[in-house]
Structure 1
Amino acid sequence: DPAHLHWDVRYVVRAGADERYAVSAESLDLAWRPIAEIAADANAEASLRRMAVKWLQAR
């Protein structure tokens, strides 16, 4: 794809252990993950880690 602008929107959702989600053509890698796990995951995308750390610090 050529360079383009887009909005990168992320959500924090509190879900019960039995909550289900639907994978679509736009969401190939979807999972419920604890925020602390994302913050500590060296393999997670840097912007996701920053969001997780900020969320934890604000609590």
Structure 2
Amino acid sequence: MNGRYRKAGIEPPLDELMDDELVHLVMRRDRLTPDMVWAHVETARAGLRGRLAMPEPVRRCA
């Protein structure tokens, strides 16, 4: 990973994380493949898109 992400509060793009050698070593240890991880990422993204597309419930004061 690039040195520019060593400061707290700055997050690298997910594509860059998934290309990192250390991330691949951890995935291998956990018996995961990049395809498996990306499938979960896409599932999470779809769930978030679904939640964001729903209108906010109307809150009424009692």
With the length of structure 1 as denominator, give the TM-score of the two structures.
0.29
The structure carrying a bigger helix percent of its residues is 2
With the length of structure 2 as denominator, give the TM-score of the two structures.
0.28
- Bigger relative contact order, structure 1 or 2 (CA pairs below 8 A, ≥6 apart): 1
